[in-house]
Structure 1
């Protein structure tokens, strides 16, 4: 069951703190699936519309679905031409279909995977596809190779969060690595995997701070009256690493797994 407090108060931080999806995602999906501005897109667990807005020009109509009202409010600010609807994936009416493409970007692990996989299948139009977007947008890869600016001190940031909130973190309901078994059991065939290469990103102190507050286990409301104190200590930690308040990191490669019924 969806926990309404999971991302409470994090939507604006999500928009400013998460690294954007690269335009290459739209390019490779358009070429592979022959997307030409027709048909309909359904983005499940769309959050503030980061992927939805990127892919919308490839379709005649786009629907973004998320259970969090704050996320949808941010999505509407981005593009009010898209149909933004509040619902859990488990309760999306099958009658909303058909869709040429259904996407899940960093969202499927929060859902009842077998139920959602089964529910979505009749919503796909003939020749339609389901795409899992595997990405990490709140932080980049660890490494020691030289970059234009220092890397954010992610381990130290995690330690600071733990000092304020303890070590426990919410987790999705899906089992790591079990996604393929769920999809095959629901009658899907894995068509192919596409990958978008990693890229060096420059991030400001404000963006790194926002990325922390965008996390389900570090949303602002969890800190209560200590939120300002946490942010002060977080910024002090970041400035000790990069006095000019700029950071660089490799955005992880993004995997696009395409499934067909």
Structure 2
């Protein structure tokens, strides 16, 4: 496992309860744009005829539960065993497993959707194409990927000190190009003013496997 993944896993294991209190206990009440994109994603996943979806980097499982409530057969995957344990304890009717986004324990073409809600932000730019190819691998043709991330207006990704582990913000066009190269052309995007003090845009790209 690359060193940065070890660091990220350890960092998130150390903030499970705090993270859950800040996010899982309130879902997305203060983030109407994200709620709208996730609801659209769920509707489109159901329309593929394959309602199975993976919430990759699921953390404490709050969005896995949201997808389930929206009629999606959702399960959660996360690098952090602490997060997975919390999700299993608080949402015992849903499935959660430890996994890396670069090596999903899912067969080829098995899913109608993949949700990556701010879970790719810790991946170094040079490793992101392989990670995106893995998401494409597990999707059916026409399957959906929703990626949410910190957006920037600059020419390239920007490394910054995330509160949990080092992370990267991305220009939406650059990330959309990487998605297209992985066989996941973007057909909808939403960028809006930040909900935090970091100053980056909140960005959401919705792509469909070609």
Please, what TM-score do these two structures have when normalized by structure 2? 0.70
Alignment partners' CA distance in 2, 1:52 and 1:169? 21
**What residue in structure 1 maps to residue 155 of structure 2?**
none
**What residue in structure 2 maps to residue 13 of structure 1?**
18
Alignment partners' CA distance in 2, 1:28 and 1:169? 29
Instruction: Give, in angstroms, the shift of residue 90 of structure 1.
Output: 1.1
Deviation track 1:41-94 (CA, whole Å, cap 9, x = no partner) reads: 111111111211111233452221101011111111231222101011112134
Deviation track 1:75-131 (CA, whole Å, cap 9, x = no partner) reads: 112312221010111121341751111010111122331111111212112321100
**What residue in structure 1 maps to residue 187 of structure 2?**
191
**What residue in structure 2 maps to residue 61 of structure 1?**
73
Larger RCO (alpha carbons 8 Å, 6+ apart): 1
User: 1:178-217 to 2 correspondence within 5 Å?
Assistant: 178-194=174-190
Alignment partners' CA distance in 2, 1:180 and 1:24? 20
Q: Report SS of the residue matched to 1:93.
A: coil
Q: How large is the Cα RMSD of the aligned pairs?
A: 3.3
Alignment partners' CA distance in 1, 2:109 and 2:55? 12
**What residue in structure 2 maps to residue 258 of structure 1?**
206
Alignment partners' CA distance in 2, 1:181 and 1:27? 24
Describe the shift of the 1:118–1:109 C-alpha distance in structure 2 as closer, same or farther (beyond 3 A): same
Alignment partners' CA distance in 2, 1:103 and 1:73? 20
What are the ranges of 5 or more consecutive residues in structure 2 without an aligned counterpart?
Answer: 30-34, 152-162
**What residue in structure 2 maps to residue 230 of structure 1?**
none
Alignment partners' CA distance in 2, 1:169 and 1:30? 28
Alignment partners' CA distance in 2, 1:196 and 1:6? 28
Give the length in aligned residue pairs.
Answer: 177
